[in-house]
Amino acid sequence: MTDSQAAAPTALDPRPALASAIVDTLVHRIGKDAQAARPHDWLAATILTLRNEIIERWMESTKAAHAAGAKRVYYLSLEFLIGRLLRDALSNLRHNDEVAAALASLGVDLAAIEEIEPDAALGNGGLGRLAACFMESLASLDLPAYGYGIRYVNGMFRQRLDDGWQVELPENWLAHGNPWEFERRESAYFVGFGGEVTATTSGQVHWSPIEAVEAVAVDTPMVGWRGKRVNTLRLWNARAFDPIKLDRFNAGDFEGALAGQMRAETLTRVLYPNDSTPAGQELRLRQEYFFSSASIQDIVRRHLQYFGDIRTLPEKAAIQLNDTHPAVAVAELMRLLTDFHELSFDEAWEITRATFGYTNHTLLPEALESWPLPLFERLLPRHMQIVYAINARLLREASKVDGIDGNAIAAISLIDEGGERRVRMANLAFAGSHSVNGVAALHTELMKKTVFADLHRLYPDRINNKTNGITPRRWLQQCNPGLTGLLVEAIGEDFKDDAARLTALAPFANDSSFRERFAMVKRSNKVTLSTYIKDSMGLTLDPDAIFDVQIKRIHEYKRQLLGIVEAVALYDQIRSHPERNWTPRVKLFAGKAASSYHTAKLVIKLANDVAKRINADPAVGDLLKVAFVPNYNVSLAEKIIPAADLSEQISTAGMEASGTGNMKFALNGALTIGTLDGANIEIKDHVGDDNIFIFGLTADEVAEKRASGYRGRQVIEGSRELAQAVNAIASGVFSPDDPDRYKGLMDGLYEHDWFMLAADFDAYAAAQREVDAKFGDTAAWGRSAVINVANMGWFSSDRTIGEYAKQIWGVM
Q: What is the binding site for ligand 26W (CB under 6 A)?
A: 124-127, 130, 274-276, 278, 323, 361-362, 367, 369, 439, 468, 656-660, 678
Beta carbon nearer to ligand 26W, 53 or 798: 798
Beta carbon nearer to ligand 26W, 365 or 460: 365
Would residue 660 show up in a list of annotated catalytic residues for this protein? yes
Q: If we measure between CA atoms, which residue out of 71, 665, 64 comes closest to residue 313?
A: 71
* Active-site pick, 660, 672, 675, 800: 660
The least distance separating ligand 26W from the CB of residue 557, rounded to whole angstroms, comes to: 9
Query: CA 366, CA 581: separation in Å to the nearest integer?
Result: 45
Cα–Cα distances in angstroms (integers) from residue 370 to residues 327, 427, 585, in the given order: 11, 9, 44
Query: CA 428, CA 431: separation in Å to the nearest integer?
Result: 5
The least distance separating ligand 26W from the CB of residue 132, rounded to whole angstroms, comes to: 11
Please work out, in degrees rounded to the nearest 5, the angle formed at the alpha carbon of residue 183 by the alpha carbons of 177 and 186: 165
SS (H, E, C) 373-394: HHHHHHHCHHHHHHHHHHHHHH
The least distance separating ligand 26W from the CB of residue 426, rounded to whole angstroms, comes to: 11
Cα–Cα distances in angstroms (integers) from residue 167 to residues 52, 163, 271, 741, in the given order: 40, 10, 16, 18
Beta-carbon contacts of residue 493 (< 8 Å; ≥ 6 apart): none
Residue with CB nearest ligand 26W?
126
Phi, psi of 146 (to 5 degrees): -125, 135
Q: If we measure between CA atoms, which residue out of 127, 138, 121, 135 comes closest to residue 81?
A: 121
The least distance separating ligand 26W from the CB of residue 448, rounded to whole angstroms, comes to: 17
Q: If we measure between CA atoms, which residue out of 615, 591, 695 comes closest to residue 650?
A: 695
Beta-carbon contacts of residue 435 (< 8 Å; ≥ 6 apart): 357, 358, 462, 464, 807, 808
The least distance separating ligand 26W from the CB of residue 555, rounded to whole angstroms, comes to: 8
Pairing of strands 145-150, 72-76: parallel
Beta carbon nearer to ligand 26W, 125 or 563: 125
Query: CA 342, CA 200: separation in Å to the nearest integer?
Result: 14
Beta-carbon contacts of residue 396 (< 8 Å; ≥ 6 apart): none
Instruction: Calculate the dihedral angle through the C-alpha atoms of 690, 694, 697, 701, rounding to the nearest 10 degrees.
Output: -50
Please work out, in degrees rounded to the nearest 5, the angle formed at the alpha carbon of residue 509 by the alpha carbons of 505 and 510: 125
* Active-site pick, 303, 605, 625, 664: 664
Would residue 552 show up in a list of annotated catalytic residues for this protein? yes
Across the strands, what pairs with 75? Answer: 147, 320
The least distance separating ligand 26W from the CB of residue 539, rounded to whole angstroms, comes to: 29
* Active-site pick, 239, 515, 552, 587: 552
Phi, psi of 371 (to 5 degrees): -115, 135
Across the strands, what pairs with 220? Answer: 233
Query: CA 667, CA 645: separation in Å to the nearest integer?
Result: 12
Cα–Cα distances in angstroms (integers) from residue 736 to residues 43, 365, 721, 728, 742, in the given order: 47, 37, 21, 11, 11
Would residue 698 show up in a list of annotated catalytic residues for this protein? no
Query: CA 485, CA 491: separation in Å to the nearest integer?
Result: 10
Beta carbon nearer to ligand 26W, 553 or 625: 553
Query: CA 181, CA 165: separation in Å to the nearest integer?
Result: 35
Task: Tell me which DSSP letter residue 488 carries.
Answer: H
List b or e across 363-386, with b for residues whose CB sees 16 or more CB atoms inside 10 angstroms. bbeebbbbbbbeebbebbbbbbbb
The least distance separating ligand 26W from the CB of residue 129, rounded to whole angstroms, comes to: 7
The least distance separating ligand 26W from the CB of residue 81, rounded to whole angstroms, comes to: 9
Pairing of strands 463-465, 435-438: parallel
The least distance separating ligand 26W from the CB of residue 361, rounded to whole angstroms, comes to: 4
Residue type, 26: L
Task: Tell me which DSSP letter residue 470 carries.
Answer: B
Q: If we measure between CA atoms, which residue out of 6, 36, 35, 41 comes closest to residue 21?
A: 6
The least distance separating ligand 26W from the CB of residue 225, rounded to whole angstroms, comes to: 22
Phi, psi of 645 (to 5 degrees): -100, -40
**What is the DSSP secondary-structure string of 89-114?**
HHHHTT-HHHHHHHHHTTT--HHHHH
Beta carbon nearer to ligand 26W, 179 or 678: 678
Query: CA 582, CA 619: separation in Å to the nearest integer?
Result: 13
Pairing of strands 646-649, 546-551: parallel
Query: CA 155, CA 273: separation in Å to the nearest integer?
Result: 8
The least distance separating ligand 26W from the CB of residue 322, rounded to whole angstroms, comes to: 8
Q: If we measure between CA atoms, which residue out of 587, 774, 755, 787 comes closest to residue 683?
A: 787
The least distance separating ligand 26W from the CB of residue 660, rounded to whole angstroms, comes to: 5
Task: Tell me which DSSP letter residue 251 carries.
Answer: T
The least distance separating ligand 26W from the CB of residue 743, rounded to whole angstroms, comes to: 29
Cα–Cα distances in angstroms (integers) from residue 74 to residues 71, 265, 408, 471, 510, in the given order: 10, 25, 32, 19, 45
Residue positions annotated with a catalytic role: 361, 552-553, 558, 660, 664
